[in-house]
Chain A
């Protein structure tokens, strides 16, 4: 089971780029890295998933170094509406029973 470690909280201002790093030293060969976003009073929402190198979609980018022991979620030009909790998960389809969301990173974006 790959345990993840991410900062408890981060602060930013509108228009800035935000990078949230997740450490997963024990990641297994078959594990994927997935990030979710959760707004207050809502369920988590999938943001992005990757296995190696870089993945980009309309919302974020995910950078994964060659050793895959960490990953960085990058949010370009954040706005107030990006204030949320961000969770990093590591695992594959065989590990639902051990996948945990942890406490996530609370990102606060200020004007």
Chain B
């Protein structure tokens, strides 16, 4: 069965370190997304991609970067981790095409703690 996975599921790091969160999907979806979820804020979009070599900034992109070298993966990098980036991170993917907002399939999440 197709799925979307994230790794690691839990990560503790120190302020200033570079951290990369992995996201891998086997749906063969063109669209991929990264969100963060914090208490009181719901889910907020960090970056998204409509296909290979395409990346776009979302609502809260400062301090984060992504790259899309293939269809299956969209790694999220925190260049220099800050305590404000302690959060739960969700990756999602969706089909492209059509006129409706296409259903997003979410991964299980990565809980990141920056000390």
Contact = CB atoms under 8 A, between A and B. Distances in A.
Nearest to A50: B100
A98 B13 CA distance: 30
A91 B107 CA distance: 22
B42 A93 contact: no
Interface residues of A, number: 26
A56 B44 CA distance: 28
B97 to A, nearest CB: 8
B99 A30 contact: yes
A89 B45 contact: no
A92 B40 CA distance: 25
A93 B97 CA distance: 8
Nearest to A47: B103
B99 A92 contact: yes
A102 B107 CA distance: 19
B3 to A, nearest CB: 12
Contacts of B48: 96-97
Interface stretch (A13-21, A38-46, A57-65, A67-75): A38-46
B104 A95 contact: no
Nearest to A42: B108
Interface string B48-61: 10000000111100
B45 to A, nearest CB: 7
Given A100-B59, A103-B41, A103-B42, A46 B108 contact: no
Interface of B: 31, 33, 35, 40-45, 48, 56-59, 90, 92, 96-109
8 contacts: A32-B100, A44-B90, A46-B104, A87-B42, A96-B33, A100-B42, A101-B44, A102-B42
